[in-house]
Structure 1
Amino acid sequence: MSERQPQYPADALFVNRWSPRSLTGEAIDDQTLLTLFEAARWAPSAFNVQPWRFSYSKNDSESFSTYLDFLVEFNQSWAKNASALIVVLAKKITMTSQAEVEFPSYAFDTGAAWASLAFQAEKLGWVTHGMTGINKEKIAATLKVPETYSVEAMIAVGKQGDKAALPEGLQAKEAPSDRRPVEETIFEGIGFKE
């Protein structure tokens, strides 16, 4: 595995976190999962609304096959070895003093919560892999998610396994990816830079 090199002095926690697919299936205890959710709890949130919600299933539970079935076939092929699968939901509606309104930063804030969970997992020696290759309608129907919530993504959590355990086509991809140079993602002042 090639070592990632930051352009600027970002902490190794951010540089080294990546999304492996090879997982061992090792059991995850409740305390570890609750620690991940605790980290997400402290994510930044506009007006302290905290729109994120998480529903989960551990690999050894009766509901795990249902959660696995929420994923597209490609993700099922490797996520079956996750220690836990987490559904990420976001509350779209909030109450103001006048009425219920769409909360403009529900997805933004929920993304911050997912990132916090991912970095906490990294600190504890676990890996996470966020997925949008999911069946949102099936998740909403099965979990009885109210229409005021949005199904955002799913997360596989586990201990990193040997890439040789993956199907051949995925083995070559099982390495940390690089990122665009900082200068390609920022611009100063007025005007948009693609």
Structure 2
Amino acid sequence: MFRRRSSIWFMREPVKRDICVPCGSGATPKWGEEDIDVIDAGGQPASVIKGGSVCDHETSFAYIRGGHIDAAVLGTLQVDEEGNIANWTIPGKLVPGMGGAMDLCAGVKRIIVATDHCEKSGRSKILKKCTLPLTGAKCVTDIVTERCYFQVSPEGLVLKELAPGYTVEDILACTEAKVIVPDEIGIMG
């Protein structure tokens, strides 16, 4: 649920007109309203919202691999201060494969990670260095969590905005990565 809200948060930011951002499929259709010709990447029924468009799998990868996508929002297992992302496997666990995330990381101009700040165990998902196999190296530009918004820079993660109810000290306490705290920090909302 958080990722969907944070993706919406990102889209409220001023963006240039005429950029191409894949938003994924719409909500699961209601029982009896499924269209057998509209499915998501996993083969499950999907819906298309007003203003949405659909293309086949091959065309979508041609857009991605051809550099025609301006921004993408990805979830993650781990992300680090250098902009590396690990979002496809945990060693020893059975997974179907990477899917298109590696292609997005390699072919999209701006990668926004939308994730919970910490794992269920309480350990930070925003690390000094990813420990899981990488999906993409030095490709993440922005990280949005339920607690804050970071911009990735060569020096570390710049804290740009705080969610209401969180302080800089809260963020520093739950983030393993190097955090740069500027003089002015906005409020997410």
TM-score with structure 2 setting the length? 0.25
Question: Whose Rg is larger?
Answer: 1
Q: Higher RCO, 1 or 2 (CA under 8 Å, sep at least 6)?
A: 1
Q: Which has the higher helix share?
A: 1
TM-score (norm 1): 0.25
